[in-house]
Amino acid sequence: MMHTWFLCKIRYEKVIEDGGNKKVTEPYLVDALSFTEAEARIIEEVTPFISGEFTVTDISRAHYSEIFTSEEDSADKWFAGRLAFITLDEKSGKEKRTYTNVLIQAADIHDAMKKLDEGMKGTMADYSSILLKETAIVDVYPYHSEEKEEFKHDTNK
């Protein structure tokens, strides 16, 4: 299934450690079919977690070809990786590079590199990681179709 990712920024008042309030803008990644759906989905996803008012201040397309999630509690950060796939052009015999962006959920940069390598194990193409950096993304919401939901309910019977 092809994913269309949107980076949605939410601005709200967050209670900080000293008990005071501070206006923050936090980015979230949402899988949606359109900007309109992305806005509706992010509002639905964050409403239970944000007390008080919030606004969606920005929605932009995010170009990630792959997202590597983790169930580990320590993996609480999201790292953006830029990969270069190296292929050989049959005709010219020259190396050709194709670039792609991935997102990795990990504890730190070393963990992200390890998870990236694990996630790419099944790939036949040679690749090199040319960039790996921590992002400010708070959470990622993949698309769950209604069919999947119904299927989940059926298994609980």
Q: Residues 101-136: pLDDT tens digits?
A: 999 999 999 999 999 999 988 877 788 878 999 999
Cα three-residue angle 63-69-70, rounded to 5 degrees? 160
Domain shared by 22 and 58, yes or no: yes
Q: What are the two backbone dihedrals, phi and then psi, of residue 81, each rounded to the nearest 5 degrees?
A: -120, 140
Domain shared by 83 and 58, yes or no: no
Cα three-residue angle 1-35-82, rounded to 5 degrees? 55
* Residue range of the domain that includes 113: 64-144
Domain shared by 139 and 70, yes or no: yes
The H-or-E segment that residue 30 falls in is: strand 21-31
Report strand pairing: 66-68 vs 21-31.
unpaired
Mean pLDDT to the nearest integer, 52-63: 96
pTM: 0.83
Domain shared by 104 and 131, yes or no: yes
Partners of residue 24 on adjacent β-strands: 12
Domain shared by 89 and 139, yes or no: yes
Overall number of domains in the chain: 2
CB atoms within 10 A of CB 102: 20
Is 121 among the domain residues?
A: yes
